[in-house]
Amino acid sequence: MRVDEVFKQAASQGTAPISFEMFPPKGELTLDTAREVAGNLCKLSPSFVSVTCSAGGSGNGAATAPIAHMITSEFDTPSVAHLTCVGRSHADIAAKIDEYRTAGVENILALRGDLPAGATEDDKPASDYAYARDLIPELVDAGFCVGAAAYPEGHIACEDLNLSVEHLKQKQDAGASFFVTQLFFDNECFYRFRELADKAGITVPITAGIMPFMGKSQISRMVFMCGASLPSPVIKILAKYENDPESLQAAGVDYAARQLCDLKEHGADGLHLYTMNRPAIAATIMERLG
């Protein structure tokens, strides 16, 4: 099923789709591990499950299409396969389109992708695609339902939030039919961003992406990778449970659940949980969401 239809059906029923993200196993591919994770996630009846890939031709990108196919064919759940374009040529993307189409993929999240380790914006690898918006029309023309990323606090490489919103509009104009936000810890950032997006003429659904924090090292990594700000309640939780990892994880899951409940109450178009391949955490949060 196409994800744009998922959003249309939910809107007609006055509900918000709840979706998950999972990533392929790192290192040597074990589809059995992915099958176990995907199966347990799909038991929770998400509206769709997105499957990440690695950027720059490294890591676990080869597993993305098979796992997306598995989610749809074995667990009867719509899937979204990520596709990055950094360092890729038109021929590379044509090959990926053939691969995804052969795997029965209907939905793609078009991303520029992170630069390879050690690369900077000034020495990024040669590519036929400067940004995700350059990839989107090619995927739409190939018949896919295409989504793209949104950045409630602005892209980490872009200091002007208004400019980030302009880039979002360009992605919509290029053919994106839904957006998934990068993680954030302060819902007010999302609400401000949504107002700016409305004023800019963004009309396709924006689903809010939330990741539970599990520990100090993880949250530090996310802050520096994504540019997400840490509100005072999160800092207080980190300080309170500094020497109690189990309680810190429980508090992180609780905080994410409260974020998602608040977003639901404030009419977010959709709710997207970065599951970190932990179905038990997803189950706890789905229970809280009712």
Catalytic residues: 21
Q: In the chain, how many H helices and how many E strands?
A: 11, 8
H or E element at residue 206? strand 206-210
Task: Decide if 43 contacts 49 (C-beta within 8 A).
Answer: no
What is d(CA 125, CA 167) in angstroms, rounded to the nearest whole number?
21
Task: Decide if 45 contacts 20 (C-beta within 8 A).
Answer: no
Residue 77 is classified by DSSP as: -
Task: Decide if 170 contacts 140 (C-beta within 8 A).
Answer: no
Strands 206-210, 107-111: pairing is unpaired
End-to-end CA distance of the chain: 24
Cβ neighbours, 10 Å, residue 283? 15
Chain-centre distance for alpha carbon 137: 20
Cβ neighbours, 10 Å, residue 271? 24
What is d(CA 124, CA 56) in angstroms, rounded to the nearest whole number?
10
